[in-house]
Amino acid sequence: MLMRWLAVPALLMAFTGLSQASECPELLQGSLPKLRAKETIDLCQRFAGKPLVVVNTASFCGFAPQFKSLEALNQRFKAQGLEVIGVPSNDFKQESRDAEQTAKVCYVDYGVTFTMTEPQKVRGDDAAHLFQVLAAQSDEPKWNFYKYVVDRKGKVIANFSSLTEPDDPKFIEAVEKALASQP
């Protein structure tokens, strides 16, 4: 009899796990390696139900100073649940092939504290799954520092070109809309 009672919680945990997996939005299915860490980021586990700003970055791009305003955005809204994800890419030939150099630019030169991944493809058929879904929901990045604002359900609510600064009123309005969204 005791054995049956022990099996019930195990079954409930198994069904709960299945339910959570099926609730993970397509955008967040998969994982990415964290920049200069031995850690892999399970996107669903880490970001499901959270409003996001996803941006493809490049260390040697003329838009790299946007790291500072992205960090300011992160500091301004992180207490409200916003997560910023930076994804370095060499798709436009402006990222170092050395992840240590990329990390130095992000963490030392610009003081980034938000999540950064190892460099990924962000365009085309071999793009990281995250960027394939972003492109399917909106547009593929046209250049470095292309920004996506994603609601709590994993849907793109706005995307912005490299020319749009992270402190632009329209960008902030989209972030606030994402923050107000329901999971």
Catalytic residues: 61
Neighbours of 110 (CB within 10 A): 19
Listed in order, strand segments (DSSP E) in the chain are 31-33, 40-42, 52-57, 83-88, 115-116, 147-150, 156-160
User: Which residues are CB-neighbours of 181 under 8 A, at least 6 positions away?
Assistant: 51, 151, 152, 153, 157
CB of 119 closer than 8 Å to CB of 33? no
